[in-house]
Amino acid sequence: MELLNVDTIEAARGKIEPYINKYLYRTKEVQIIESLDKVLAEDVYTSINVPHFRRSTVDGYAVVFSDTQGASDTIPVFLKVIGEVEIGNEAKKSIKSGECVYVPTGGMLPPNANAMVMIEYSEMFSEDEVAIYESVPYNSNVVQIGEDISEGELLLSKGTRIRAQEIGAMASIGKSVVSVYDNLSVSIISTGDELLTIDKSLLDAKIFDINTYTLLALCEKYKMPIKRALVLKDDEELLKNTIQEAMNDSDIVLVSGGSSKGKKDVSAKVLDELASSGVLTHGISIKPGKPTITAFDEESKTLLVGLPGHPVAAMMLFEVLVMSTIQEGLGKKEERTIRAKMKTNVVSAPGRTTLQLVSLSVIEGEYHAEPIYGKSGLITTLTKADGYVVIELNNEGLKKDESVLVHIF
Amino acid sequence: MELLNVDTIEAARGKIEPYINKYLYRTKEVQIIESLDKVLAEDVYTSINVPHFRRSTVDGYAVVFSDTQGASDTIPVFLKVIGEVEIGNEAKKSIKSGECVYVPTGGMLPPNANAMVMIEYSEMFSEDEVAIYESVPYNSNVVQIGEDISEGELLLSKGTRIRAQEIGAMASIGKSVVSVYDNLSVSIISTGDELLTIDKSLLDAKIFDINTYTLLALCEKYKMPIKRALVLKDDEELLKNTIQEAMNDSDIVLVSGGSSKGKKDVSAKVLDELASSGVLTHGISIKPGKPTITAFDEESKTLLVGLPGHPVAAMMLFEVLVMSTIQEGLGKKEERTIRAKMKTNVVSAPGRTTLQLVSLSVIEGEYHAEPIYGKSGLITTLTKADGYVVIELNNEGLKKDESVLVHIF
């Protein structure tokens, strides 16, 4: 009685992956400050040493370290202060044994100086003489040339997700423009005679459109620009024309609803007609999310995805099929996962990958995952969930106390 | 030799918290699609039932469940098809025993029908007769009125962080506008004669400005609008005028650099003069991040924070002092933490809270945290880190194999 010739989720990913790799990873040069959360499309090497001078990490006196040996709280060593280094300026005047120079935090050490004494361990004794109450080792409180980053070094590798600190690291070597992978643009089309936009009043057996909102929010989360978001009546011609228009300016067209095997199932037919690949996958052995369709058009370079009409299934398949394939291709590692212990047994759907919603709690310093059940149309099951656990196709279920990987929403 | 009268990180948070609570939590009405990642400022109750009609979860036939009892793969039950429900339309015609009506997924069940038979378990026998090959229980494949959300129910509580599914849940009850806490606006001022903007060439003992970039990126991460980002020379008048101007249009003014106890330490003096509260905290017993200053001006309603000049310390204090206090006040729970096992012992700084940078790896399904060491000025230590562990003031350190909470960047 199996009416759909279903793919596993891995097979479905495998069918769209070569197209995504070939057509959708465009690179773009951006100012580093615009690169947050993007993925690096180049290896970043440095052409300078950081720091490019010997830098003090404290406010205090640059000294010849051997001069301070034996100094202590009670028995100071006296040094002659021969000058002061201004922050940002070159320290030209060299010192010799018995002499010192004031250097502020971040300032350059003078030639011959090889340690810093913190000002807290000193006391001015006369106008040009300072008492040192500390014995400092060689290179104490000094950052060496190239200690943070050496000239020619690989600073950041291609495929790195850019966080605030990566932007800081690029700034530190004076790199102002960087090559990143461009975010993919999306069109969202929800179909169904039963859908009402939320500015309307409920009537008959109509329901408010949910998928447009959740998919818009997910695209915003991933910073994917939205080309259009529309709610359409069930009308094959209208759907076809709208998708065709969207293919002209979008990298991904998401069509939600109209994908189950019912009388009004036209998405598959339309996607098959519009995409050069024809329909690649029609039905995935996953729960929820079975009625999912994929296709790729090589002429317009567009990934076409028919998502289930059920809001929970639509959100989950967008994550596990579309986003995970795109991000894996960029070498972006899965970041939002947490190890947890199952609180109860969970039975999986036979012959299908199961996406089990869970809520998390901390018990004695350990995360515990509790399954959340609900019919897949019920959006509130998702608001109670912190994430989901993937139960593989051939796994019969999860056992109480089993360690699982929770994918966090 | 302690020159600063330092606060613990808890005390420093405690001093700014009442001001933040009193002055900075403004609420704002936004379209639900603009509410992603914001915090709800109202309890959201529903005035409708979801669904507001008995809805089928499958394509198939609405039946009187008792009619199907005894039906199986080999022995079907025959029912008369008396009509079809269109999706989105009211099902007016009631059925009686021996009858059924076609209903698509999401469609309304007709009066008297009390179960759905999936189309896969049926076969048209004649023009108006269908063979049913399955015995279905009462209410099978039907979502009851209010099963997802009941009228008058609390859907989402004040303080909830809004994700895609919360937006979907609001859409499902037709709520288009929601009250959220407004994001706080920020001005970023980096000071130091040694700082070069990255469009310049390196010379003398100057270094490229890092803090403006990392702080800009962190503000972008938290979606805080930026009013200005400037690099200033060390000049008391200039700093004072610039901060004063920023106080007019910003909720938070971040001043980085100029906060350690050196000859050029003017930030504390300027903040003390400009803020009605005077300086609240000058120095925190935390490593890195000791030279941190806070103040609050009640007239302009501005939080003033002097962050350390060291990029690592500036980033970390922005997170653990500024953002954690703001988010805790909103009831937003810490989300980005992972439990891990320490790979090695870590010695903490005596009498100070230690923020220990770590990198994470998975060994046999468990996260392990490895400490990353580096002088606090070195931005590359941060690019190697996945997050940090907080070692409390009176904790002597971490032991190998100890379970720790890693705050993820």
The model's pLDDT over A141-177, given as tens digits with 9 standing for 90+, comes to: 999 999 988 999 999 999 999 999 999 999 999 999 9
**Can you give chain A as a three-state secondary structure string?**
CCCCCCECHHHHHHHHHHHHHHHHCCEEEEEHHHCCCCEECCCEECCCCECCCCEECCCEEEECHHHHCCCCCCCCEEEEEEEECCCCCCCCCCCCCCEEEEECCCCECCCCCCEEEEHHHEEEEECCEEEECCCCCCCCCEECCCCCECCCCEEECCCCECCHHHHHHHHHCCCCEEEEECCCCEEEEEECCCEECCCCCCCCCCEECCHHHHHHHHHHHCCCCEEEEEEECCCHHHHHHHHHHHHHHCCEEEEECCCCCCCCCCHHHHHHHHCCCCEEEECECEECCCCCEEEEECCCCEEEEEECCCHHHHHHHHHHHHHHHHHHHCCCCCCCEEEEEECCCEECCCCCEEEEEEEEEEECCEEEEEECCCCCCCHHHHHCCCEEEEECCCCCEECCCCEEEEEEC
Collect all residues of chain B within an 8 Å Cβ-Cβ radius of residue A164.
213-215, 217-218, 221, 315, 409
**CB-based contacts of B242: which residues, under 8 Å, 6+ apart?**
B189, B230, B232
Confidence band of B203 (pLDDT split at 50, 70, 90): confident
Q: What is the pLDDT of residues A11-31, one digit of tens each?
A: 999 999 999 999 999 999 999
In the predicted structure, residue B3 carries a pLDDT above the cut 50: no
Residue A333: its pLDDT value, please?
A: 61
Residue A5: its pLDDT value, please?
A: 80
Query: Pairing mode, if any, of strands B195-196 and B186-191?
Result: unpaired
Burial grade of A112 (CB within 10 A; 0-12, 13-18, 19 or more): middle
CA distance B409 to chain A (A): 8
Q: Are residues A128 and A193 in the same domain?
A: no
Subunit contact A165:B315, Cβ cutoff 8 A: yes
Q: Are residues B106 and B208 in the same domain?
A: no
In the predicted structure, residue B2 carries a pLDDT above the cut 80: no
Q: What is the extent of the structural domain holding A318?
A: 9-26+182-329
Nearest to A165 among B206, B309, B382 (CB): B382
Q: Are residues A232 and A193 in the same domain?
A: yes
What's the mean pLDDT when you consider all of chain B? 92
Collect all residues of chain A within an 8 Å Cβ-Cβ radius of residue B86.
193
Subunit contact B33:A193, Cβ cutoff 8 A: no
Residue B258: its pLDDT value, please?
A: 63
d(CA A259, CA A211): 14
Residue A339: its pLDDT value, please?
A: 87
Give the max Cα distance, chain A.
98
- In 3D space, the residue among A237, A245, A294 whose CA is nearest the CA of residue A271 turns out to be A294
d(CA B68, CA B70): 6
d(CA A211, CA A313): 10
Q: Are residues B171 and B137 in the same domain?
A: no
Picking from B307, B329, B351, the residue at the C-terminal end of a domain is B329
User: Which CATH number does the domain housing residue A95 bear?
Assistant: 2.170.190.11
CA distance B382 to chain A (A): 6
In a domain? residue B3: no
In a domain? residue B252: yes
CA distance A379 to chain B (A): 6
Nearest to B120 among A3, A218, A365 (CB): A3
Query: Cα separations (Å) of B300 from B244, B249, B272?
Result: 9, 8, 14
In the predicted structure, residue A283 carries a pLDDT above the cut 60: yes
Q: Are residues B213 and B249 in the same domain?
A: yes
Confidence band of A310 (pLDDT split at 50, 70, 90): confident
> Which of A74, A105, A134, A360 should one mutate to test binding to chain B, selecting the residue with the greatest count of B CBs within 10 A?
A105
Nearest to B202 among A52, A163, A204 (CB): A52
In the predicted structure, residue B335 carries a pLDDT above the cut 90: no
Q: Residue B249 CA to chain centroid, in angstroms?
A: 25
In a domain? residue B94: yes
> Which of B72, B87, B120 should one mutate to test binding to chain A, selecting the residue with the greatest count of A CBs within 10 A?
B87
Q: Which residue has the higher pLDDT, A199 or B13?
A: B13
Contact status, residue A20 vs residue B139, Cβ threshold 8 Å: no
d(CA B173, CA B169): 7
Among A54-58, A364-368, B177-181, the range scoring the smallest mean pLDDT is A364-368
Nearest to B365 among A119, A262, A339 (CB): A339
In a domain? residue A187: yes
Query: Cα separations (Å) of A140 from A49, A63, A135, A349?
Result: 20, 10, 10, 63
In a domain? residue A152: no
Task: Read off the pLDDT of each residue in B226-242 and give the average, rounded to a whole number.
Answer: 94
User: Which CATH number does the domain housing residue A247 bear?
Assistant: 3.40.980.10
Confidence band of A2 (pLDDT split at 50, 70, 90): very low
In a domain? residue B275: yes
Query: Cα separations (Å) of A373 from A68, A352, B68, B156, B393?
Result: 70, 17, 27, 18, 43
In a domain? residue B231: yes
Task: Read off the pLDDT of each residue in A61-79 and give the average, rounded to a whole number.
Answer: 96
Q: Are residues B307 and B220 in the same domain?
A: yes
Q: Are residues B203 and B271 in the same domain?
A: yes
In a domain? residue A13: yes
CA distance B229 to chain A (A): 12
Q: What is the pLDDT of residues A356-376, one digit of tens each?
A: 999 999 887 788 999 999 765
CA distance A18 to chain B (A): 29
Residue A260: its pLDDT value, please?
A: 54
Subunit contact A33:B194, Cβ cutoff 8 A: no
Subunit contact B149:A380, Cβ cutoff 8 A: yes
In the predicted structure, residue B262 carries a pLDDT above the cut 70: no
User: Which CATH number does the domain housing residue B379 bear?
Assistant: 2.40.340.10
Query: Pairing mode, if any, of strands A279-282 and A293-297?
Result: antiparallel
Query: Cα separations (Å) of A59 from A65, A75, A103, B87, B379?
Result: 16, 22, 6, 75, 20
| High-pLDDT (> 70) share of chain A, % | 96
Picking from A329, A350, A384, the residue at the C-terminal end of a domain is A329
Residue A377: its pLDDT value, please?
A: 62
φ and ψ at A342, to 5 degrees? -70, 135
Q: Are residues B260 and B200 in the same domain?
A: yes
| High-pLDDT (> 90) share of chain B, % | 77
Picking from B298, B329, B360, the residue at the C-terminal end of a domain is B329
- In 3D space, the residue among A398, A371, A375, A400 whose CA is nearest the CA of residue A387 turns out to be A371
Chains A, B: CB pairs < 8 Å: 299
Subunit contact B379:A199, Cβ cutoff 8 A: no
Among A232-246, B169-183, B356-370, the range scoring the smallest mean pLDDT is B356-370
d(CA B196, CA B85): 71
Q: Which residue has the higher pLDDT, A371 or A332?
A: A371
Task: Read off the pLDDT of each residue in B313-321 and give the average, rounded to a whole number.
Answer: 95
Count of domains in chain A? 4
Burial call B7-38: b when 16+ CB within 10 Å, e when fewer: bbbeebbebbeebbeebbeeeeebebbbbbbb
Residue A1: its pLDDT value, please?
A: 33
Subunit contact A202:B163, Cβ cutoff 8 A: no
d(CA B390, CA B406): 8
In the predicted structure, residue B1 carries a pLDDT above the cut 50: no
Contact status, residue B160 vs residue B21, Cβ threshold 8 Å: no
Contact status, residue A397 vs residue A345, Cβ threshold 8 Å: yes
Collect all residues of chain B within an 8 Å Cβ-Cβ radius of residue A165.
214, 315, 379, 382-383, 385, 409
Residue A331: its pLDDT value, please?
A: 75
Collect all residues of chain A within an 8 Å Cβ-Cβ radius of residue B339.
338-339, 365-367
Q: Are residues B313 and B252 in the same domain?
A: yes
Q: Are residues A391 and A314 in the same domain?
A: no
In the predicted structure, residue A3 carries a pLDDT above the cut 70: no
Task: Read off the pLDDT of each residue in A351-355 and give the average, rounded to a whole number.
Answer: 92
CA distance B55 to chain A (A): 8
Task: Read off the pLDDT of each residue in A245-257 and give the average, rounded to a whole number.
Answer: 96
d(CA A204, CA A193): 11
Q: Are residues B224 and B289 in the same domain?
A: yes
Among A232-241, A272-281, A356-365, B263-272, the range scoring the smallest mean pLDDT is B263-272
Subunit contact A168:B311, Cβ cutoff 8 A: yes
In the predicted structure, residue B107 carries a pLDDT above the cut 80: yes
What's the mean pLDDT when you consider all of chain A? 92
CA distance B128 to chain A (A): 17
Collect all residues of chain B within an 8 Å Cβ-Cβ radius of residue A74.
none
Confidence band of A201 (pLDDT split at 50, 70, 90): confident
Q: Which residue has the higher pLDDT, B203 or B68?
A: B68
Subunit contact B167:A91, Cβ cutoff 8 A: no
Residue B199: its pLDDT value, please?
A: 84
Amino acid in position B157: S
Q: Are residues B118 and B195 in the same domain?
A: no
